[in-house]
Structures are given as structure tokens and as C-alpha cells.
Amino acid sequence: MRNNGAVYVFWSGKTLSSIGSWLANVAGLYLILKLTNSPLWVALYMLGKMLPAIVTSSYGGVLADRMNRRSILMVLDGLSVLVALIPILVHQSSQLWLVLASIVLLTGMSSVYFPAQQGLIAQLGMQDIGGTNSFFAAGDGLAMVAGALLGGVIASHSIAMAFVANSVSFALSFITVSLLPTGNGGPLPSAPSSAPPSPITPRQAYVEMKQAWITIRRRPVLVKVIGLSVALSLAGGGVNVLLSVVAHRKVGLGAFGISLAYAALGTGLFLGSLLSRITLKSRYRYTGIIALATIGEGVFIGIYSHMPIAIIAITSLVIAGVFSTMADSAQETLIMEHVPQEVFGRFYSFFDISTTTAFAIGTLLMGLLMTKTASGFSGSVVAILWIVVGALWLQIRGHEPQRTATSETSI
């Protein structure tokens, strides 16, 4: 990976775009809480970031397996530059639908973007899948810290400026993706040439997704990965609401309180990416790493929701973030080592659709629950579910072959 310049170029663009997204996320949450102070509105905002993926993700998977992934990313980055500016028109609660419209459009494009992006990461880093995933996870952590903190500072002075910065980040991502090498074969192959050139109709997308599912089902570990990820996404949707509402109520610093919570989580994600480079090179099965890290994350999410002392609550988020990245990096590496290249994009579509649906349900349920109960009770529900899913990961270790510290990837 050290000599692969394309990985660093792509990483820089993805990280810059993620920073912009976090700026906009903090600004959007602060704007909603400032105008409504409603957990239910926060849940609706989060749902807007998820539901469109259920409709568009299948197209994203088929496109990623049939077309040049670099071209897909460039087109979507270009469109996102404009859509990201829509929320600057919002000045009162009756205009919040514009924020929702913007996030729905961005999410719809993101769910098409995601399979192509993951396929591109696998192609670029095929010589060291584990190291590449840890590297990109580190970028995600840095982006969350920088984006959340900057989002709090910028949104406190000008919410509109945060949305403008997000638009600029998409433009920068477009530029970095355009710098990646092109061509068939080599370090950045385009989609298989045998893919049918016909337009992607809903029926065609369904047929190709069904064909991919037949291939995926032959690898039981992948089916179980999807199933457990769905269960964890139910809990993750709850955390999605819990994190912002608890931070806003407990820290009591407005936009900065929300940004501080996300920055703490991002710090943990970055630290976790450093530890992941060690654990992924060990002889431990990926499923065992995921199980223990998931249980740890659940414990500290529970502590965060109950702790009345802000500094301890924030520290709990840092530790939860460490465990989160360890679990996510192991899971991504497990997926990339077992998914056949010819259905890679469509696997991520299945994964995205199923986890997004569960995440949306969890978000809505938590939004409703937090309007009726204390945050501590809601946090306990999420933490227990998280720990149960971690324990279930231990039950599927037998489906994953024992690996060695020098195991090669299959991609």
C-alpha cells in the first residue's frame, strides 16, 4: 500500500468529502434542534439520510458491477456539489422540508456511490486489504473529529457556511477522483466487459440482484454477516438519535455540544483504526474480533447514556469509537476477502439495503421512545441489543476458516 499512490489520492478525496458531510450533519442537527427542539424531528432527519437507499441501492450495486466505478463517482460528486447548497435557504421551521429534501437527494446518490466506492477501494488495495481498510477507517475517524469540531464552530456563527463547505468538499472529491488512473485492467480495472450493455430497468436490476444473491448464498458466512449487521443496525439507529439528543441535553452547549460528542466518537474511530492494523494481522478470526469489539462498544454506549458527568460520558464515546472501528475494519476485511469480485457491487447493495432499512426502523423507534422515556432507559435498550449481537457473532466463528497472520486475500 505504501507504494500505491492511487490509494492515497482516493483516500484524500474521500476524507475531505467526509469532513464536509460531518460539517453539514452537525449544522443540520443544530438547525433542527434550534428551530424545534424535538427528538422526533431529529429522527425524521436521520430517516431522510437512510430511506432513499432502500430504493436506489440496488441500482448502485448493478451499476458498480457493470460500469466504470471511477466515472460513477465523478458524476455523483458533481451533482452533490449543487444539492448540498439547498439547506442554506432555510430560516424558519416551516422551511425544514428543504433540509429533508436535500438530505434525501444526497442519500439517494450516496447509496449509488457506496458500492462503487467500496469496489474501488478493494481494487486499489487488493495487495493489502486489511491495511487499506484500516487506512480508510483512520480517514473516517479524522474526518469525524475535524468535521464535527469545525461544524460546531462554524454552525455557531453561520449555519449556512457549513452547508457551503460541504458543497466545496464534494468539488474537491470530484477533483481527486478525476486524478485516478483510467483504463481496463491494471491497478484500476473497469467493470467486467461481459456485463450486458442493456439499460438498467427495474426488472433488469431485480434479475441481476437475484443472480448475485444465488452466488452469495453459497458462502454462509456472508449471509450471516448480513443478518447480524441488520440486528446491529437496529441498535445503531437508536444511537443515531441518542447521541445528538443526549449531547444537546447533557452538555448544554448548543451546536458545540453536539459537535463535541461526534468529535469524541471520531477520536475513538481514529484510535481504533490504529489498533485494527494490529488485530487484523493477528491469527484471531475476524468474527472473534468483531464479537468482542461489538460487546465492548455496547457497554460504553450504555455508560454514555447514563453518565451525568459530561467528561466521563465523552470519554465513554471515545472508547466506544475504538471498539466500533475495530469491529467495522474486521467486518469489511472479512467481506472483501470472501465476496466474489463479479458480484461485489451487488453484495454491497444487499448489505446497504438491509442495514439501512433496519437503521431507519431503529432511528424512528428511538425518536418515539425518547419522547416518552428518559435517555438512560433508551440507552439501556440499545446497549443490551448491542451486547446480544456481539454474543451472536461468537456463534458463527465456525463458518469462517481459520486464518494465519500472512493470509492472502481472494480479491
Higher local confidence (pLDDT), 258 or 382: 382
Cβ 277 vs Cβ 134: under 8 Å: yes
Q: Please return the burial class of 215, using the count of CB atoms within 10 Å of its CB with bins 0-12, 13-18 and 19+.
A: middle
**Hey, what domains does the chain have and what are their CATH numbers?**
5-182+208-399 (1.20.1250.20)
Query: What average pLDDT does this structure show over 150-174?
Result: 89
Higher local confidence (pLDDT), 42 or 142: 142
Tell me: pLDDT of 192 over 50: no
Which residues have CB under 8 Å from 23's CB, separation 6+?
147, 150, 151, 154, 155, 162, 163, 165, 166, 169
Distance CA 232, CA 224 (A): 12
194-220 residue pLDDT tens: 444 456 677 777 788 888 888 888 888
Give DSSP secondary structure letters for 178-199. HTS--SSSTTS--S-TTS--S-
pLDDT of residue 372: 79
pLDDT of residue 397: 65
Tell me: pLDDT of 294 over 50: yes
Whether the model clears a pTM of 0.75, i.e. scores above it, the answer is no
Tell me: pLDDT of 250 over 70: no
pLDDT of residue 245: 74
Tell me: pLDDT of 411 over 50: no
pLDDT of residue 255: 58
68-126 residue pLDDT tens: 888 899 999 999 999 999 999 988 888 888 988 998 899 889 888 888 888 888 777 76
Smallest Cα–Cα separation from 339: which of 189, 123, 187, 140? 123
Query: What average pLDDT does this structure show over 26-48?
Result: 81
Query: What average pLDDT does this structure show over 278-284?
Result: 79
Cβ 187 vs Cβ 124: under 8 Å: yes
Helix or strand run (H / E) with residue 156: helix 129-157
Tell me: pLDDT of 6 over 90: no
CA atoms 178, 183, 188, 194: torsion sign: positive
Cβ 363 vs Cβ 50: under 8 Å: yes
pLDDT of residue 188: 40
User: What confidence category does residue 370 fall into, taking pLDDT thresholds of 50, 70 and 90?
Assistant: confident
**Which residue is associated with the grid cell 482516493?**
10
Mean pLDDT over the full length of the chain: 81
Distance CA 188, CA 173 (A): 17
Tell me: pLDDT of 185 over 50: no
User: What confidence category does residue 169 fall into, taking pLDDT thresholds of 50, 70 and 90?
Assistant: very high
Task: Name which of 36-50, 105-119, 240-254 the model is least confident about.
Answer: 240-254
Cβ 52 vs Cβ 114: under 8 Å: no
First to last CA, the chain: 15
Query: CB count, 10 Å around CB of 181?
Result: 12
pLDDT of residue 253: 52
Which residues have CB under 8 Å from 274's CB, separation 6+?
134, 138
Distance CA 400, CA 403 (A): 9
CA 174 to chain CA centroid, nearest Å: 19
pLDDT of residue 189: 43
